[in-house]
């Protein structure tokens, strides 16, 4: 096991850890969390130093770190240099033992006959004949196809090199694996595969990640770094949040009690220190005051509090693609695309890597013209488009305040500084050139510039790649309150689940409405992988296209959709097959007289009335809760709340918000159950 005993570490004159003590055991999956700058990467560097690895030496100021001498460590670095080495060879080099034996067996010129036998025995003991297959499976899981195996590492982009680095790390026969933001450059299907891999791994894993759903799915412990302390929590990230909230509430109470005691002691000392009759008691109080352990107040530590402004003008539809073929150089990648973006649209785009999600995004924002069909954008369209390119083209020499000034006209500096403060640009950072910013800071600044322009359509392509958990939470809350349309591509499942009302699947050149939620998409991906592993490419392609309808269907089964199809109206995706299927369904129903239809409808209404009442009452309750939450968000947007003097007011509002959010979640679950019951009843009537 790994054991920290009263560990203290300083870097650049700043104390990062003080008195850190915890134990980690083989098989543990541990999430390492904490605000940026608290020392997460330093903790990794310390572990590597203790195991004789790593490029950065970190020494202990005090305490002791105990790690078994026999343990091997694998660390996912954040940079991969250009190399002429092939991708598959680079990945295989992660298994150092296999790589050395294999190299020796491929060059026997300096190896004796006796050594050859030993090498073959060692190769067999480590199951070396299956190692290339393992490497290929890891590469496939992370999105590489077989045609890329022999390409040089230098031929891949930065994001794909990071995937290669992750694959190399996963190939290691390590007892301890350190993964630093492994999901940053992965799409959702690769993340889901990685979750499965980590859960099956038998060693100790410590992972730094800002992906809450990923942490919930993989870890059973959380190491949280905060205020120079490292605390080990049992459970996944959700459990950590609940436990930490309880601890913080207790700490706040203890702090307030201590402050009252200190105030009383201070007052006694001030009044009686000079009096001879009370001097001894005063000195006793002074010593008591010095002995008191300094408690920190509970901090509402999320520095982000922004929200999207209400759009000025909107019409419907805002963007429309009709029977569009989309692609490059006259070669369609997507066929017969039908997508309509209205003010109420909350659309999440799903699909495997390379399926065409980004291509569809470019068509929706007008960057890529359609090859056939039509594209229409409303005169009232005001687009807020976020992608990696927008971050990369920020004016490197300009400061956040200068960039805001270009957009804001005569707005006062005070108002702009307050606005930028809601994105945690404060003090010197407001006047710092963006070329000196981290990826997370550039992402926050790009979002700030978008928010200021009051868009009515937000098209967001992987907006959370460089954002920490606190900013992701703030973005989720802001998007929930946004009154325009949202089109989202993201590997952050929490963001998709909390923001999107509908999901479209981009697959095999088609865009279809996905009948399910984000967890169903994980099942769909697992089924696809199973098919692809069981069949050769050609057969798999045909079968995947056919079987995808198990999960994605344009048919609708409720009575309203059948009625629309029977009357000739189109579904949202514009599918002709949906209309045909619905007509077939209608045509097979027995013919009833008008009187029989009326009696049947009345009986159905009577049977479903209690469920409908439950749905109506729950919807009313949810509407009231939403009103209260919106009012609370308005109050929480007041920047003065985050001043030290108003911490108590802030805590009251945050506790009220937590309670309302729990009520909202409970009522939403009840609503979904009632709606499911109603659908089942209506289906039985058909």
Convert the pLDDT of each residue in 478-489 to its tens digit.
888 888 999 999
Q: Is residue 299 part of a domain?
A: no
Report residue 258's pLDDT band, with 50, 70 and 90 as the boundaries: low
Phi and psi torsions of 433, nearest 5°: -60, 140
According to DSSP, the β-strands at 176-180 and 204-208 are parallel
**Helix, strand, coil shares of the chain as percentages rounded to 5?**
55, 15, 30
The domain total for the chain is 3
pLDDT in tens, 325-345: 999 888 899 999 999 999 989
pLDDT band at 467 (very low <50, low <70, confident <90, very high): confident
Q: Considering the domain boundaries, does residue 321 fall inside one?
A: no
pLDDT at 377: 94
Q: State how far the Cα of 168 lies from the Cα of 91, in Å rounded to an integer.
A: 4
Instruction: Please answer whether residues 347 and 500 qualify as being in contact, where contact means their C-beta atoms are separated by less than 8 angstroms.
Output: yes
Asked if pLDDT for residue 530 goes beyond 60, the answer is: yes
Which of 181, 211, 241 is the last residue before a domain boundary?
241
Considering the domain architecture, whether residues 35 and 66 belong to the same structural domain is answered as: yes
Q: What is the pLDDT of residue 641?
A: 62
Helix axes 237-272, 276-291, angle to 10 degrees: 160
Q: Is residue 215 part of a domain?
A: yes
Read off the pLDDT band of 545 (50, 70, 90): very low
> What residues contact residue 504 under an 8 Å CB cut-off, 6+ apart?
339, 347, 348, 349, 350, 511, 512, 513, 514, 573
- The span from the first CA to the last CA of the chain, in angstroms, equals 61
Domain hosting residue 250, numbered range: 242-291
Write down the pLDDT at residue 164. Answer: 92
| Integer Cα distance of 192 and 523 in angstroms | 10
Asked whether the predicted pLDDT for residue 668 surpasses 80, the reply is: no
In a shared domain, residues 161 and 216: yes
Give the lowest-confidence range in 110-119, 154-163, 392-401, 501-510.
Answer: 110-119
Q: Has residue 371 got a pLDDT over 90?
A: yes
- Identify whether the C-beta of residue 229 lies closer than 8 Å to the C-beta of residue 17: yes
Sign of CA dihedral 142, 148, 150, 152: negative
Residue 78 maps to a domain = yes
Q: Give the mean pLDDT of 15-34.
A: 92
CA distances from 169 to 76, 86, 90, 236, 510 (A): 6, 16, 10, 23, 35
The pTM for the full model equals 0.62
- Of 72, 132, 80, 128, the closest CA to residue 105 belongs to 128
- Higher-pLDDT residue of 447 and 575 is 447
Residue with more model confidence, 64 or 250: 64
Paired with 321 in beta bridges are 339, 375
* Mean of pLDDT over the chain: 80
Lowest mean pLDDT among 121-125, 486-490, 601-605: 601-605
pLDDT at 168 over 90: yes
pLDDT greater at residue 410 or residue 286: 410
What is the pLDDT confidence band of residue 126, given thresholds at 50, 70 and 90?
confident
Q: What does the pLDDT average to over 580-585?
A: 37
Distance, CA of 7 to CA of 11 (rounded, Å): 14
Q: With 80 as the cut, is the pLDDT of residue 13 above it?
A: no
Query: What pLDDT is recorded for position 428?
Result: 87
Span 97-119, average pLDDT = 81
Residue 359: exposure state from Cβ atoms within 10 A (0-12, 13-18, ≥19):
buried
Nearest C-alpha neighbor of 524 from the set 497, 493, 494, 549: 549
Neighbours of 550 (CB within 10 A): 11
Would you state the pLDDT for residue 155?
86
Place of tokens 């013919």: 591
Q: How confident is the model at residue 212 (pLDDT cuts 50, 70, 90)?
A: confident
Q: Which helix (H) or strand (E) holds 546?
A: helix 537-547
Average pLDDT over residues 50-68: 87
Question: 177 lies in a domain?
Answer: yes
User: 71 and 201, same structural domain?
Assistant: yes
Structure tokens at 680: 């089942």
Which pLDDT band, with edges at 50, 70 and 90, does 248 fall under? low
pLDDT surpasses 60 at 66: yes
Which structure tokens are listed for 315? 């019409």
pLDDT in tens, 497-510: 888 889 999 999 99
The token pair at 418 is 């307050």
Mean pLDDT of the 532-560 span: 42
- pLDDT for residue 549: 36
User: How large is the average pLDDT for residues 509-520?
Assistant: 89
Angle, CA 607 vertex, CA 603 and CA 610 arms, to 5°: 140
pLDDT band at 685 (very low <50, low <70, confident <90, very high): low
Least confident of 300-309, 572-581, 644-653: 572-581
The first and second tokens of residue 259, run together, are: 């402050």
The answer on 68 and 157 residing in a single domain is yes
Q: How far apart are CA 446 and CA 126, in angstroms?
A: 49
- CB count within 10 Å of CB 57 equals 9
pLDDT of residue 204: 95
Higher pLDDT, 611 or 182: 182
Which of 202, 223, 241 marks a domain boundary? 241
The verdict on residue 74 lying in a domain is: yes
Assess whether pLDDT exceeds 50 at residue 581.
Answer: no
Are residue 111 and residue 89 in the same domain, yes or no? yes
Rounded Cα distance between 253 and 492, Å, is 35
pLDDT for the residue 550: 35
Q: Are residues 137 and 76 in the same domain?
A: yes
674 vs 229, residue with greater confidence: 229
Q: Which of 179-183, 189-193, 626-630 has the lowest average pLDDT?
A: 626-630
The token pair at 450 is 């978008």
Place of tokens 């927008």: 390
Q: Give domain status of residue 49, yes or no.
A: yes
Confidence of residue 639 (pLDDT cuts 50, 70, 90): low
Least confident of 94-98, 115-119, 368-372, 492-496: 115-119
Q: What is the 3-state secondary structure (H, E, C) of 462-518?
A: CCCCCCCHHHHHHHHHHHHHCCCEEEEECCCHHHHHHHCCEEEEEECCEEEECCCCH
| Among candidate residues 249, 225, 223, 245, the one with its CA nearest the CA of residue 234 | 223
pLDDT band at 281 (very low <50, low <70, confident <90, very high): low
Instruction: Examine the domain organization and report whether 132 and 271 are in the same domain.
Output: no
Q: Are residues 143 and 253 in the same domain?
A: no
Residues 147 and 287 in one domain: no
Measured from the Cβ of residue 356, the count of other Cβ atoms closer than 10 Å reads 25
Model confidence at 678: pLDDT above 80: no
Average pLDDT of span 168-191: 90
Both 248 and 207 in a single domain? no
Do residue 80 and residue 133 come from a single domain? yes
Burial zone of 12 (CB within 10 Å; 0-12 exposed, 13-18 middle, 19+ buried): exposed
pLDDT of 352 above 60: yes
CATH of the domain at 224: 3.40.50.300
Report, as an integer, the average pLDDT of 370-375.
Answer: 94
**Segment of 121-125, 246-250, 447-451 carrying the highest mean pLDDT:** 447-451
Q: Say how far apart CA 513 and CA 559 lie, in whole Å.
A: 18
Region 253-267: what's the mean pLDDT? 70
Residue 29 lies in a domain: yes
Question: Is the pLDDT higher at 240 or at 360?
Answer: 360
Sign of CA dihedral 206, 209, 214, 216: positive
Contact 386, 308 (CB under 8 A): no
What is the pLDDT at residue 666?
A: 75
Length of the chain: 686
Of the residues 276, 291, 306, the one at which a domain ends = 291
**236 and 89 share one domain:** yes
pLDDT bracket for residue 300 (50, 70, 90):
very low
């Amino acid at each position: 096991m790994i054991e920290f005993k009263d560990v203290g570490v300083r870097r650049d004159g700043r104390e990062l850890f003080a008195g850190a003590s915890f134990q980690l055991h083989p098989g543990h999956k541990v999430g390492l969390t904490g605000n940026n700058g608290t020392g997460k990467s330093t903790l990794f560097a310390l572990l590597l130093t203790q195991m004789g690895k790593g490029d950065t030496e970190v020494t202990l100021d005090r305490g002791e770190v105990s790690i078994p001498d026999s343990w091997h460590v694998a660390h996912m670095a954040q940079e991969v240099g250009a190399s002429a080495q092939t991708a598959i060879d680079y990945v295989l080099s992660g298994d150092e033992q296999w790589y050395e034996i294999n190299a020796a067996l491929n060059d026997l010129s300096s190896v004796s006959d006796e050594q050859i036998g030993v090498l073959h025995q060692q190769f067999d003991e480590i199951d070396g004949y299956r190692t290339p297959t393992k490497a290929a499976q890891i590469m496939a899981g992370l999105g590489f196809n077989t045609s890329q195996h022999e390409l040089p590492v230098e031929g891949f982009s930065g994001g794909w090199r990071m995937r290669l680095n992750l694959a190399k790390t996963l190939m290691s026969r390590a007892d301890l694996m350190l993964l630093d933001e492994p999901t940053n450059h992965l799409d959702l299907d690769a993340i889901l595969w990685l979750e499965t891999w980590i859960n099956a791994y038998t060693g100790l894993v410590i992972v730094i990640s800002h992906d809450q759903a990923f942490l919930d799915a993989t870890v059973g412990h959380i190491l949280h770094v905060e205020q120079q302390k490292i605390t080990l929590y049992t459970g996944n990230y959700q459990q950590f949040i609940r436990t930490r909230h309880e601890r913080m509430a207790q700490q706040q109470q203890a702090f307030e009690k201590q402050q009252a005691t200190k105030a009383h002691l201070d007052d006694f000392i001030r009044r009686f220190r000079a009096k001879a009759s009370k001097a001894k008691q005063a000195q006793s109080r002074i010593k008591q005051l010095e002995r008191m352990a300094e408690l920190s107040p509970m901090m509402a530590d999320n520095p982000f509090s922004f929200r999207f402004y209400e759009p000025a003008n909107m019409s419907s539809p805002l963007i429309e693609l009709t029977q569009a073929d989309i692609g490059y150089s006259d070669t369609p990648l997507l066929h017969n695309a039908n997508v309509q973006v209205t003010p109420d649209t909350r659309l999440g785009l799903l699909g495997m890597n390379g399926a065409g999600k980004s291509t569809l995004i470019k068509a929706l924002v007008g960057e890529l013209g359609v090859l056939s069909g039509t594209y229409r954008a409303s005169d009232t369209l005001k687009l807020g488009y976020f992608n990696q390119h927008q971050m990369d083209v920020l004016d490197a020499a300009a400061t956040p305040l200068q960039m805001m000034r270009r957009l804001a006209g005569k707005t006062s500096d005070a108002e702009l500084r307050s606005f930028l403060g809601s994105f945690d640009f404060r003090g010197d950072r407001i006047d710092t050139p963006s070329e000196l910013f981290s990826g997370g800071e550039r992402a926050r600044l790009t979002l700030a510039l978008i928010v200021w322009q009051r868009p009515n359509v937000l098209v967001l392509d992987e907006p959370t790649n460089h954002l920490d958990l606190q900013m992701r939470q703030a973005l989720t809350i802001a998007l929930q309150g946004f009154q325009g349309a949202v089109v989202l591509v993201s590997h952050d499942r929490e963001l998709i689940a909390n923001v999107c009302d509908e999901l479209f699947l981009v697959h095999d050149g088609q865009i279809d409405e996905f009948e399910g939620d984000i967890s169903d998409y994980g099942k769909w991906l697992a089924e696809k992988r199973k098919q692809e592993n069981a069949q050769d490419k050609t057969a798999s392609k045909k079968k995947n296209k056919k079987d995808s309808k198990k999960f994605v269907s344009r048919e609708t089964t409720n009575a309203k959709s059948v009625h629309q199809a029977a009357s000739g109206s189109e579904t949202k995706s514009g599918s002709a097959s949906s209309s045909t299927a619905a007509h077939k369904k209608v045509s097979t129903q027995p013919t009833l007289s008008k009187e029989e239809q009326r009696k049947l409808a009345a009986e159905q209404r009577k049977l479903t009335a209690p469920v409908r009442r439950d749905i109506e009452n729950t919807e009313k309750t949810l509407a009231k809760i939403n009103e209260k939450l919106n009012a609370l968000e308005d109050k929480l947007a007041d920047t003065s709340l985050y001043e030290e003097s108003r911490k108590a007011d802030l805590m009251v509002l945050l506790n009220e918000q937590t309670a309302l959010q729990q009520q909202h979640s409970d009522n939403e679950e009840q609503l979904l159950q009632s709606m499911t019951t109603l659908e089942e009843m209506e289906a039985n009537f058909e």
